[in-house]
Amino acid sequence: MIKSIVLYIVFIFSLHQIHAQGIQFATTDLATALDLARQQNKLVFVDVYTDWCAPCKKMEKTIFPQAKVGQLYNENFISCRVNGEKDKGPDIVKKYRVGAYPTFLFINPEGELVAKGSGYEESADPFLELGRSAIRKKAMNFSFSRMKHNYEKNKNNKQFLAAYIEALDSLELKEDVVPLLDQYCKMITTPSGADYNFLLKHVFRANSAAFDILLNNQADAYQYFNKDSLFPDNKSTRQFLFESKLNNTIIETIMDAISTRDEQKFRQAIFKDRKIDHQNPKYPLTVFSFSAQFYTTMKDTMSLLQLLHRFSDTLLPAILPRASSLDSLYTMQVQEPGWKGTYIFYLANTMDNAADKYLLNSRKKSDFQRALTLSNQVLRLAPGKPMFINTSARAYYLLNEKERAIQLQKQAVKLSEDIPSLHNKFMSQLADMQAGKRII
């Protein structure tokens, strides 16, 4: 009897030690993990990482070792770590559509994706909730393949579509959501408050029926907008969060247009963007930056320079005199401590990127002068930043004020000593300036 009690105590102590050590990764081979999951009636948790991914290393160092994380994951999952760039990792990345690192996959023993998440946060709570969500789906006998099989006979069933869309979105299968959301919109005659919130939650393409409903009914959509449901625990203002959802949809569409080199999609996004009542002072700068990226990708230098001219001649004169008040407005909208100055630095960084694009894409002295004007304004907003000083130095050099350029470049070199990649680049440019060579 005493021996049994002692063994039981040792067992409990050992179990506690395992939990205290955090997640116990059983294998780096998914097939092995699936076999173990089948034997133990568990799901497989897969941490997909890369060697170069800083957030992956933070998860490994600060979240995975926590006792409460180990307790939940060790009891409910067979855990597996997979390098997305080595061995069978690329096949897993392709099969489960891994688009960022780290990505967390929850897979049933049949190899079917049940839940999915990504990214690093300081608190373990979101990661724990992701695990609990997977456990709940297992308990409900969730099957994505079954929903897919039943789609045709249920595609006119609004409740089924809503559940299917929720499932796809939770698995980060956004592209599969688009046609289903369009189908959902066909069943809407007069949108209800629930419809508006559902569309706001799942829309991510501006060229869609869902976005058109929101765009054409902004006042009604805002009236019914449930901030606490769509953005739990977010302290930002209701107006800021509502507009952010519309703005982010525009930006995601522009990013998609950049990756697919789709000019029609880009122009549609810009056209629809003009119908949004923008209150976020940061957003026009974001649209400008992504538009510049689009024209750069398309190698449309003429349109890029026209965009730069509008930015420096029209947008900036309206913004710069109000920069401090806009910074205060943005800080108030976000309602998070420590955000004061964020808008100012974002503005400075956007202006520096514009100056850099002038230097890289034009051969006109007038454009070099525009770049220098922008750069001088940047240095007044955010002095002492080596990247910004380097842009100013290059502008002076291209305007044949070489002594001034070299003086500034030496400052950029000195200030970048703690950033090896920048330091080496700036040293090389300084040598070229001193030798009178062409720089870029």
Q: Where are the domains of the chain?
A: 2-140, 146-217, 238-434
Residue of 226, 237, 170, 228 whose CA lies nearest to 195: 226
**SS3 of residue 235 by DSSP:** coil
**Residue 114: its H or E element:** strand 113-118
pLDDT at 297: 96
pLDDT at 177: 87
Torsion on CA atoms 356, 357, 358, 360, rounded to nearest 10: 90
Contact 279, 240 (CB under 8 A): yes
Output the CA torsion sign for 386, 392, 397, 402. Answer: negative
CATH fold label, 238-434: 1.25.40
Q: What is the token pair recorded at 275?
A: 């119908």
Q: Which amino acid is at 95?
A: K
**SS3 of residue 167 by DSSP:** helix
- Domain 2-140 belongs to what architecture? 3-Layer(aba) Sandwich (3.40)
Whole-angstrom Cα distance, residue 311 to residue 343? 17
pLDDT at 19: 42
Radius of gyration of the chain (CA): 27
pLDDT in tens, the chain (440 residues): 444 443 344 344 444 444 458 999 998 899 999 999 999 999 999 999 999 999 999 999 999 999 999 999 999 999 999 999 999 999 999 999 898 999 999 999 989 998 899 998 889 999 999 999 899 888 877 777 777 788 888 888 898 888 888 888 877 777 888 889 999 999 998 999 999 999 999 998 999 999 999 999 999 999 999 988 888 878 888 999 999 999 999 999 999 999 999 999 999 999 999 999 888 999 999 999 999 999 999 999 999 999 999 999 999 999 999 999 988 888 888 877 777 788 999 999 999 999 999 999 999 999 999 999 999 999 999 999 999 999 999 999 999 999 999 999 999 999 999 999 899 999 999 999 999 998 87
DSSP state of 354: H
pTM equals: 0.76
Q: Concatenated DSSP letters for 276-338?
A: S----TTHHHHHHHHHHHHHHHTT-HHHHHHHHHHIIIIIHHHHGGGHHHHHHHHHHHHT-TT
67: burial class by Cβ within 10 Å (0-12, 13-18, 19+)?
Answer: middle
